[in-house]
Amino acid sequence: MGPKLGIYLKNYPREISKGDLVEVTFYKDDKNYLYLTKFNTLLNLRTEVIDYLSFRKGEKISLSIKKLKSLARTQKLFREGKIDLLHLVPQESSNGYPIVVKSIRQDDEEKIVLWCFHNRGSCMQIELRRFIDIDSFGRFLGLMQSEGNKNNFKNVEFANASLKEHKDFVRYLHLLGINSELINVDCIHTSQREKAKDAISSYEKKVGIAVKNVYSSDNNKYGLGFKLKIRNVIFANIVMFSMDKIRKLITERKWNRNLTLLAEAYFAKLLSGDGNVDLAFKNRRLPQGRIKITDGNLDYLQDYQILMKRFGFNPRLLEKHIIVRSYFKLDQAKWLLKIKAFENNPNSKKLQTFINARTK
């Protein structure tokens, strides 16, 4: 826990009353910080502003204060070829606490500052980009759907054996506005501490994020692997809400250009995480190819089946085996490579083998 600091406000605008939502801008040296809170004459400071401006007990603080009107959510997901993240911000957190939004202009782009509060306190506010590249956002959600947590509204977590997927995931986080200081990485191993040292060095070099915790677990399915976490309630709520909403949109709505791009990006990374390619030669000169997606959640498998049908596949859902699978043709194999499905894993070589065998 950081230091507990507060400010006594002797003078403040008359139109502001105790309990009103306010935006306070703190100034120190050449830095400033927009702080969302509920008004009180004794204003408690949260850790994020104390750390950012290096506040110390007893020092004088410059600030401006005014009433805050939370930004209304937008009705449309897309705006000028981008994802409008404001559309995907829930009105309330999973616990029923209101999420407050303020729009700011910074570095020549629009960003949103978000804060959530309840009777006993509040969550750490977070700043995100408002307008996001469609392809990157789709791939981020595809990775989350396949290798991330689905029901934890406190953290966003991601685990994958491939460092390339970790690197991609971090890049998507940065595009959303998540800075590296908010990203925590754990190294998990099964009694392989010495081997873990080399793996950590490789991870930090290739992914660019410091590994903060190392521990042993018999439940680690990779033997030695990495788990990435962002501990922020508001961001977790946005991601969980987005995963459900976007999955339903791309399986139920008629596709336009933007939805098609979003669906392709999502499907590509879903396959990279939970998908696999099977090639069967048997007595044939030419191989048969089949893609499959494995998931223990039947509702998800049903959505994946619909998605595969919309892409022109003929999938079968095998509930007993918790998979949905479909044979694919030459043009479909080429399309899978085109959308960069399986980009960071050996299945891309299987697709290329299939294509080479059928184009000789």
pLDDT for 120: 76
Domain-ending residue, one of 106, 129, 152: 129
pLDDT in tens, 196-253: 889 999 999 999 999 999 988 766 555 788 999 999 999 999 999 999 999 999 999 9
Domain housing 286: 254-358
Quick check: is 247 in a domain? no
Statement to judge: residues 98 and 205 lie in one domain: no
pLDDT for 118: 84
Statement to judge: residues 264 and 347 lie in one domain: yes
Quick check: is 111 in a domain? yes
Two tokens, residue 243 = 């995963």
- Integer Cα distance of 325 and 238 in angstroms: 30
- Integer Cα distance of 316 and 344 in angstroms: 26
pLDDT for 1: 47
Statement to judge: residues 291 and 323 lie in one domain: yes
**Cα–Cα distances in angstroms (integers) from residue 240 to residues 138, 186, 247, 258, 277, in the given order:** 14, 22, 11, 21, 28
Quick check: is 248 in a domain? no
Statement to judge: residues 154 and 261 lie in one domain: no
Count of domains forming the chain: 3
Quick check: is 218 in a domain? yes
Distance of CA 343 to the CA centre of its chain: 19
Tell me which residues of the chain have a pLDDT lower than 70: 1-3, 191, 218-222, 283
pLDDT for 114: 98
Quick check: is 245 in a domain? no
Instruction: List alpha helices for 84-185, DSSP H.
Output: 134-147, 163-176
